Structure 1
Amino acid sequence: MRKPKITIIGGGTGIPVILNSLRHEEADITAIVTVADDGGSSGALRNALQLTPPGDLRNVLVAMSDMPKFYEEIFQYRFEQSDGALAGHPLGNLIIAGISEMQGSTYNAMRILSKFFHVTGKIYPSSEKALTLHAIFQDGCEVVGESQIAKHKGMIDRVYVTNTYDQEIPKASRKVVEEIMESDMVVLGPGSLFTSILPNLVIPEIGEALCQTKAQVAYVCNIMTQYGETERFTDADHVRVLNRHLGERFIDTVLVNIEKVPKDYMDRNQFDEYLVQVEHDFAGLKKEVPKVVSANFLRLENGGAFHNGDSVTEELLNLIRVQQ
């Protein structure tokens, strides 16, 4: 039988959890990764070289590679804060940035690195140019830059992206639209709603492809609300925002975790951006999506609440089998 073709869209630390589990299954995997990060090492490198930020791509590359643990530790090594101009930069970010400059684009760099690290599947930046994320808040204030959004108090109404270094309309990377249109399933998230998932979807070509594709579109809802983004959000609120940004109910299935995070479990020093567990609104979800899958998708580790990649992957593959 033909391998199911699954495309994962997002960024941050969310989608690598799913990709790492999915690469062990019989599936044709594509990752489409946000390029709107303007903070930390990624922001510094993109400003210096005017290239797409490498951080989210680095994490996805590691998740989809069979590189030995020692190679991963080298690739993920972050220079000490006392290391001058290199302070805070992961070695992998420097490698991606260097090859991107050498090859003329991050798109080409990821093709080379995918072969070098024996990646299972394909990795594409959502755009071949760095993007700037804009957030319009309900109070009418506009905040520019992903790293600045959480600093503004208030509720976000909508987001959009612009090319950072020219006035052209943001465009999807080569192959991205084709991958979405040819997929059996497109998975959104998990990840920060406004800063990891939507920066990809509001690229016009990607949004249009998601509304037109015959693939089943699944959204993996976050477990925790996020400071400065989704405070007091229910699971239905997350889906409502996604549908509203694309102007139609394009999501077919939403996966929600129903396992409780133990009280006082979260390490607030390490995970200070996450607030409380996302509350459920199943009546609201039924108005937004045809199908809701609720199960125990929770993994507790090192004082944080994460998705269990194996459990999510198993459910996604079950959804594809039913569809076939």
Structure 2
Amino acid sequence: MRKRKIVVIGGGTGIPVILKSLRKENVDLTAIVTVADDGGSSGEIRNAINIAPPGDLRNVLVAMSDMPRFYEKVFQYRFDKDDGALAGHPLGNLIIAGISEMQGSTYDAIQLLSKFLHVEGNVYPSSENALTLQAIFEDGHEVTGESNIADYDGNLRFVYVYNTHDGSMAKASRKVVKAIMEADTIVMGPGSLFTSILPNLVIPEISKAILNTEAQIVYVCNIMTQRGETEHFSDADHVHVLHEHLGRNFVDTVLVNIEDVPHEYMNTHKFDEYLVQVDHDFKGLQAEGCKIISSNFLKLENGGAFHNGDAVAEEILNISERRLS
């Protein structure tokens, strides 16, 4: 039998959790990664040398690599806050930036690094250029830039992206649309709804591909609500926003964690962007036309609530297997 083709779409620290588990399985794995991050090290680098932000791509490369643990620690090493111009920059970001400049393309740099790091699968930036995220709130107020969204006190309603360099329409990277159209299963998330998942989906070529692919589309709903993005959201609200952005229902299956997160466990200083556990709205999800898989997907670690990558991967593999049978 041929390998199941699974495409994972997102960014941030969410999708690496399940990519680490999926890469150990006998699947043809592709990650499509957002390039709209404009904060921290990624923001400084993209402004300095006009490349796609490297941070989310770095985390995905590490998650899909079989590199020894020591090499991973080197690639992920972050310079000390007192190190002048290098302060706060992960070494991997600088490596990606240097190779991007050398190759004349972040896309080409990621393909080269994928071979160098023994990545099992494909890693594609969703666009070959840095993108700017534009957010529109319910009161009509607009905020430019992903890193500025949480600063505005309002309810976020809609986002779109455009090329940072010249303001033109965002275009998908090479092979991204092909990967989506040929996939058996497409997984979105886990990750920030408006700033990690949607910046990929609202690229017009990707939106069209998502709506036309025959793949099973799976959404891994976040465990916690997020400050400035999804405050007071239920799982059904997350899915509704996805459907609203693409103009019709397209999510086939939603994976929902129903294990309680102990309130006293959460380190609210370390994870100050996360608020409360996402409410489970079974009827609301049914109204969105989704199959619902609710289970214990929770992993408590270092004072935070995360997805158990192996448990999520198992469900994704089951969905993919049913798709091929």
Q: With structure 1 as the length reference, what TM-score do the two structures score? A: 0.99
Aligned twin of 2:45: 45
**In the TM superposition, what is the alpha-carbon distance from 1:18 to its structure 2 partner?**
0.5
Q: Deviations over 1:68-115 (max 9, x none)?
A: 111011000000111111010000000000000100111100110000
Distance 2:69 2:257 in 1: 30
Deviates more, 1:87-96 or 1:167-176: 167-176
Letter in structure 2 aligned against 1:182: E
Aligned twin of 2:205: 205
Identity %: 70
Aligned twin of 1:12: 12
Letter in structure 1 aligned against 2:192: S
SS in 2 for 1:276: strand
Aligned twin of 2:74: 74
Q: CA RMSD in A?
A: 0.6
**In the TM superposition, what is the alpha-carbon distance from 1:322 to its structure 2 partner?**
1.7
**In the TM superposition, what is the alpha-carbon distance from 1:14 to its structure 2 partner?**
0.2
SS in 1 for 2:66: coil
Aligned twin of 1:63: 63
Distance 2:322 2:55 in 1: 36
Letter in structure 1 aligned against 2:131: L
Aligned twin of 1:102: 102
Distance 1:2 1:76 in 2: 34
**In the TM superposition, what is the alpha-carbon distance from 1:289 to its structure 2 partner?**
2.8
Query: Are positions 1:156 and 2:156 aligned together?
Result: yes
Aligned twin of 2:284: 284
**In the TM superposition, what is the alpha-carbon distance from 1:323 to its structure 2 partner?**
2.0
Aligned twin of 2:130: 130
SS in 2 for 1:154: coil
SS in 1 for 2:159: strand
Aligned twin of 2:140: 140
Report how many aligned residue pairs link the two structures: 324
- Return 5+ residue gaps in structure 1 as ranges: none
Aligned twin of 1:84: 84
Letter in structure 1 aligned against 2:179: E
Query: Are positions 1:174 and 2:174 aligned together?
Result: yes
Aligned twin of 2:226: 226
**In the TM superposition, what is the alpha-carbon distance from 1:263 to its structure 2 partner?**
2.4
Aligned twin of 1:253: 253
Query: Are positions 1:311 and 2:306 aligned together?
Result: no
Letter in structure 2 aligned against 1:201: L
Distance 1:45 1:289 in 2: 42
Whether contact under 8 Å (1:254, 1:289) holds in the other structure is no
Whether contact under 8 Å (1:161, 1:203) holds in the other structure is yes
**In the TM superposition, what is the alpha-carbon distance from 1:168 to its structure 2 partner?**
2.1
Distance 2:9 2:263 in 1: 31
Q: Deviations over 1:137-190 (max 9, x none)?
A: 001100000000001011011000010001321000000000000000000000
SS in 1 for 2:151: coil
- Return 5+ residue gaps in structure 2 as ranges: none
Distance 1:167 1:301 in 2: 41
**In the TM superposition, what is the alpha-carbon distance from 1:232 to its structure 2 partner?**
0.2
Question: Runs in 1 of length 4+ with deviation above 3 angstroms?
Answer: none
Aligned twin of 1:193: 193
Distance 1:169 1:132 in 2: 11
Distance 1:321 1:108 in 2: 32
SS in 2 for 1:238: helix
Letter in structure 2 aligned against 1:181: M
Distance 2:290 2:167 in 1: 39
